[in-house]
Structure 1
Amino acid sequence: MKHSVFVLVLLVLFSCQDEKEFVPRDINSVKIETVMQDSLLSIRAIQLLNDGNLAFAGNNNTYGLYNVKTHSLLKSKQVFDSLNLEFRAVAQTAQDFFMLSVGSPALLYKTGDTGNMELVYQDHHPKAFYNAMRFWNNNEGIAIGDPTNDCMSIIITRNGGKSWSKLSCENLPKILDGEAAFAASNTNIAIVGNHTWVATGGKASRVLYSPDKGKTWEVYSTPIVQGLATTGLYSIDFYDALNGFGIGGDYTQPDNNTANKIRTSDGGKTWELVAPDKNPNYRSCVQYIPNRKGKELVAIGFKGIDYSSDSGSTWKNLSPEGFYTIRFVNDSVAYAAGSGRISKLTFSE
């Protein structure tokens, strides 16, 4: 009995301690330090590696690595025939880095045994256009792209990226007229554990959901703006298995903020519009700030950087500086990439 009481007291103490550790805050500024500048590059895909360094891939056949400790930069070119490759999706496992090009042929590379990049998948369909890539674990990963038949293009690996297989449309939800996806920031896919959410966009903009790492799929409607080829969800993120956020709009009307932000608290089954007709307007990427209880988000696009401290209900603009995509190192530091540069962002109250 005494032992049970002692354990109960410890649990209460630790519970109280955990609650005290989270202190609400309100970020008011962001410091932007450029770590790479190249006017010929457009970068929509960055990846924080397990060693803390930053990998990236972009247009003009270019990919590279930024060493955050030495501040050194390594850029390389990936050549395939005479094509000018543009990479908009990257991912990593503990062993390898992956990058996937847009357009046809779609080419997926992984790091090889000799330090080169090895081609592990290619899609020569005339409509091939892949948008995003993520891994569930060191063996299993997924990449998604625009439809080539009557479903989204989804390829999966179960052997660490050595080989990839395209899912049959028989096992996927059928697309609606004009439904595709945007290769804007490599954030069309959100993963929490075995749960996977895929954001589509265009004339129809929905969320595809798999509870079992791509083996079975469901599809959920959203109230995001849609109806044109350029409208819909551009980015999606989940803090946990229940709470998620999506953002987008219409990049051809970047000052429009009508129905461009949505939120879910039931794992994506239902979505609600938030901050309707209020900024931020069109944004290409949204990310939860880590370890902030799902309260804090940052949205980023070529029109600026915005922050929310109340799960996306209200927002403030921190900077007009334009970027395409962002990834957080911790709750105060992130890296963002865009047209001609990669920058380190430091957020503070």
Structure 2
Amino acid sequence: MSCIKLPMVEEGEACFAASNTNLVVHGNKTWIISGGKKSRVFYSADKGENWSVTETPILQGDAPTGMFSVDFYDDNIGFAVGGDYSNSSGNKGNKILTEDGGKSWKVMADGTAFGYASCVQFVPKSDGDGLVTVGPSGVWYSYDRGATWKKIHDEKSFHTIRFINDKSAIAAGQNSIVRLDFK
């Protein structure tokens, strides 16, 4: 077994893994997100042989801030969530979108919808438009690639969610596992 050493990891930069979604692999392509004092995207197009690093506009600068989860619908469309774990209601700078494979990111729905989120997943067969997040603000859904959000469940204990098909997902957290069915 060999260990990957990411390039240019800085003091106070970390990879949060509570939802098991700080790493995405599509074929030969790999994205790893960081948080803390720096919150960046590490990208490899060749299974980790070479890496590039991209700065992001997500909230960062302190230990409990940054990206906590990322998902890619395809090789271009990706979405990351996070925020400030110690201020779970803060909803500024906590949702970012890329449409160029992670080369550039833009803040979405700034100052609206949920605060800190621990996991984001694309809805299968949604053309990259459907997203679901979980965290202490509840379960939220977007049909327009993160521009607007609607709360669909009040449960605040979920840390992770995974789709099992294009209509159902399993959400889990402290002392709970539920199946969510989407229409």
Partner of 2:104: 270
TM-score, structure 1 normalization: 0.51
Provide the residue aligned with 1:131 in structure 2: none
How far, CA to CA, are the matches of 2:171 and 2:44 in structure 1? 29
The structural deviation recorded for 1:183 is 2.0
Q: Which of 29, 35, 50 lines up with 1:201 in the alignment?
A: 35
In 1, are the aligned partners of 2:114 and 2:137 still within 8 Å (CA)?
A: no
Instruction: Please point out which of 170, 192, 195 is paired with 2:26.
Output: 192
Pick one of 167, 177, 181 that aligns with 1:342.
177
Distance 1:204 1:291 in 2: 33
Choose which of 294, 300, 320 in structure 1 pairs with 2:134: 300
Q: Secondary structure at the match of 1:255?
A: coil
Alignment of 1:298-337 (within 5 A): 298-322=132-156, 323-337=158-172
In structure 2, stretches of 5+ residues that fail to align are: none
Shift of 1:302: 2.8
Q: State the distance in 1 between where 2:83 and 2:48 align.
A: 27
Alignment of 1:249 with 2:86, yes or no, is no
Amino acid at match of 1:165: S
Q: Which residues in structure 2 correspond to 1:85-96 (within 5 Å)?
A: none
Q: 1:212 aligns with which of 46, 58, 70?
A: 46
Q: As a proportion of its length, which structure holds more helix?
A: 1
Give the distance between the partners of 1:310 and 1:269, measured in 2 at CA: 21
Q: Which entry has the higher C-alpha Rg, 1 or 2?
A: 1
Residues 217-242 of structure 1 show CA distances to partners (whole Å, capped at 9, x for unaligned) of 11000000001000000000000111
* Distance in 1 (alpha carbons) for counterparts of 2:17 and 2:136: 14
Could you tell me which runs of 5 or more consecutive residues in structure 1 were left unpaired when the two chains were aligned: 1-163
Once the 2 structures are TM-superposed, how far is the Cα of residue 177 of structure 1 from its aligned partner?
2.6
* Residues 283-294 of structure 1 aligned to structure 2 (within 5 Å): 283-294=117-128
Return the alpha-carbon distance in structure 1 between the equivalents of residues 136 and 172 of structure 2.
10
Aligned residue identity for 1:347: F
| C-alpha RMSD of matched pairs (Å) | 1.0
Q: What SS class does the counterpart of residue 324 from structure 1 fall into?
A: strand
Q: CA deviation at 1:193?
A: 1.8
1:30-57 per-position Cα deviation (integer Å, ceiling 9, x unaligned)? xxxxxxxxxxxxxxxxxxxxxxxxxxxx
Cα distance in structure 2, aligned partners of 1:223 and 1:283: 16
Decide whether the 8 Å contact of 2:95 with 2:109 is kept in 1.
yes
Compute the TM-score of the two structures, normalised by the length of structure 2: 0.96
Tell me which of 229, 241, 246 is aligned to 2:63.
Answer: 229
Q: Distance in 2 between matches of 1:199 and 1:242?
A: 16
Matches of residues 133-148 of structure 1 in structure 2 within 5 Å? none
For residue 115 of structure 2, what is the aligned residue in structure 1?
281
Structure-2 separation of matches of 1:324 and 1:302:
8
Equivalent residue pairs, number: 182
Alignment of 1:117-128 (within 5 A): none
List structure 1 runs of 4+ shifted beyond 3 angstroms.
none
Deviation at 1:262?
A: 0.4
